[in-house]
Amino acid sequence: MTRTMANTEVITKAIRLACRAPSLHNSQPWRWVVGDVGVDLFTDYRRVVRSADRCGREAIISCGAALDHFRVVMAAAGWETNVDRFPSPDDRDNLASIDFSPADHDPTTADRARADAIASRRTDRLPFHAPSEWDVVERMLRNTVDLYSVSLDVLPDGARPALAAASRRTESFRRKDVYYRDELRWWTDPLRAYQGVPASALVSEEERERVDINREFPVTQTSNRRSDVEVDQAKVLVLSTPEDTRDDALSCGQVLSAVLLNCTVAGIATCTLSHITEFAASRAVIQELTGSRAFPQVLIRVGEATASETTPEYTRRRPLSEVMQIRR
The torsion angle over the Cα atoms of residues 96, 97, 101 and 105, rounded to 10 degrees, is 10
Q: What are residue 294's DSSP bridge partners?
A: none
3-state secondary structure of 74: helix
The reply to whether 127 falls in a domain is no
d(CA 257, CA 21): 7
Same domain for 138 and 265, yes or no, is yes
- DSSP per residue over 187-223, as a string? HT-TT-TTSS--GGG---HHHHHT-TTS--PPP----
205: domain CATH number is 3.40.109.10
CB 69 within 8 A of CB 18: yes
The reply to whether 3 falls in a domain is no
Same domain for 169 and 43, yes or no, is no
Q: Considering the entire predicted model, what is its pTM?
A: 0.96
- Residue 186 has phi, psi (to 5 degrees) of -65, -45
List, in order, residues 6 or more apart from 120 with CB less than 8 Å away: 264, 311
Which of 228, 232, 266 is CA-nearest to residue 134? 266
Same domain for 221 and 89, yes or no, is no
- Total domain count for the chain? 2
From first to last of its 328 residues, the chain has per-residue pLDDT tens of 456 677 889 999 999 999 999 999 999 999 999 998 899 999 999 999 999 999 999 999 999 999 999 999 999 999 999 999 999 989 999 999 999 999 999 999 999 999 999 999 999 999 999 999 999 999 999 988 876 789 999 999 999 999 999 999 999 999 999 999 999 999 999 888 899 999 989 999 999 999 999 999 999 887 789 999 999 999 999 999 999 999 999 999 999 999 999 999 999 999 999 999 999 999 999 999 999 999 999 999 999 998 777 777 789 999 999 999 998 7
Same domain for 205 and 86, yes or no, is no
Range of the domain at 85: 8-120+317-326
Same domain for 148 and 221, yes or no, is yes
Radius of gyration of the chain (CA): 19
The reply to whether 125 falls in a domain is no
Same domain for 153 and 71, yes or no, is no
Same domain for 250 and 321, yes or no, is no
d(CA 238, CA 299): 5
